[in-house]
Amino acid sequence: MERTIYNDEQKLFAQGFKDFVAKEVTPNNAKWEKQQMVSLDSWLKFGEAGYLCMQVDEQYGGLGIKDFKYNAVITEELSRSGCAGPAVGYSLHSDIVCPYIEHYATEEAKKKYLPKMVSGEMIGAIAMTEPGAGSDLQNIKTSAIDKGDHYIVNGSKTFITNGYLSNIVVVAVKTDPSKGAKGTSLVIITSDMKGFSKGKPFEKIGLHAQDTCELFFENVKVPKENLLGKEGDGFKYMMTELSQERLLVAISAIGAAENTLEKTIQYTKERIAFGKPIAELQNTRFKLAEMATEVTIGRVFADKCLELHAEKKLDQSTASMAKSWLTDLQNKVADECLQLHGGYGYMWEYQVARSWADARVQRIYAGTNEIMKELIARTILK
């Protein structure tokens, strides 16, 4: 089915970025998987090419590209490359962490941090999840005690994407525990602040090229100018920005599903069993037909959500539907395609094995799919 979401200029941009990925990302992915993170040099190459935080205004070093479809191209093409680890890290930096600073930081903080995020000199992370809270962001325990011109932050965060490489982190803290969600604030903490430390990168089932770790804060002195927006409005800001995060996960999910299916179709044409390609077996043909139909449906839905978001019309419920359904589809496709590869599908050297392992976490982060269903239910039952 022909896609109409991108104009000619965006299609040219997509091809240029696809070529960049083929040169700078795909050949290095296996090495990055072994070292559990991408290289610092790759971040600088992304920045030099203009592929980080493109939406940032020119006065802060960005390109000032406000059409989110360009950002979506980057997430989509990275996912379609099969390099899920780098895809998660770069997209989170540009499209999840950076907007918090763009939208809520003081002018002083914007001038200080945004240019280095654009260049790749500073790598961003967002620290919401805690060991005892999980998806329950209202009950975080990391505290920020007001000391006049600064806060003293104590606590810990876990499962932090880009955590080990990060040197700028948006941290959700409690400035007034008695107020529940209304006592939550967001602050910027940088790696040079005394008392901020990191755990070793986790050994995960998938996303081996993406660094994930714990972050620890022990009496970290955070200047008041590093407060994002108003004190106590942090939970509101998180809920506002999460729609874009969930859309990004959905876009990456459908891109990965398309890539996995394409690779599997090719494999079934080449793999011989019982004297003929397995693509000629009825079970294979029916499985591929079913997946092709569902992936096409998923692509249409993803593109519609992207169109709505570009027009600032995507609501939280629809974003939750996209995140939930498309990540479920991604996992289903990865599992079916692995099965069609037989024993070879279980070998790490085959792309389908990576796709299967990388897909699983998509149903967990950015809010579990169970949380997504609860958010959808609240909308349809109100």
Retrieve residue 271's tokens. 């793999």
Angle at 95 between CA 161 and CA 41, to 5 degrees: 60
Give the active site residue among 245, 262, 270, 311: 245
Active-site residue flag, 231: no
* Inter-residue contact 152 to 174 (CB < 8 Å): no
* CA dist., res. 303 & res. 320, Å (int): 15
* Inter-residue contact 173 to 151 (CB < 8 Å): yes
| Cα–Cα nearest to 226, from 182, 177, 171, 180 | 171
Retrieve residue 32's tokens. 């990055």
* Inter-residue contact 296 to 1 (CB < 8 Å): yes
* CA dist., res. 217 & res. 196, Å (int): 5
Taken in order 370, 371, 374, 379, the sign of the CA dihedral is negative
Considering only CA atoms, give the Rg of the chain. 21
What is the DSSP code (8-state) at residue 200? P
* CA dist., res. 352 & res. 344, Å (int): 9
Q: DSSP letters of 140-179? A: ---EEEE-SSEEEEEEEEEEEETTTT-SEEEEEEES-GGG
Kindly tell me the burial class for residue 200, based on how many C-beta atoms sit within 10 Å of its own C-beta (0-12, 13-18, 19 or more). exposed
Retrieve residue 1's tokens. 């089915």
Length, in residues, of the chain: 382
Please give the positions annotated as active site: 245
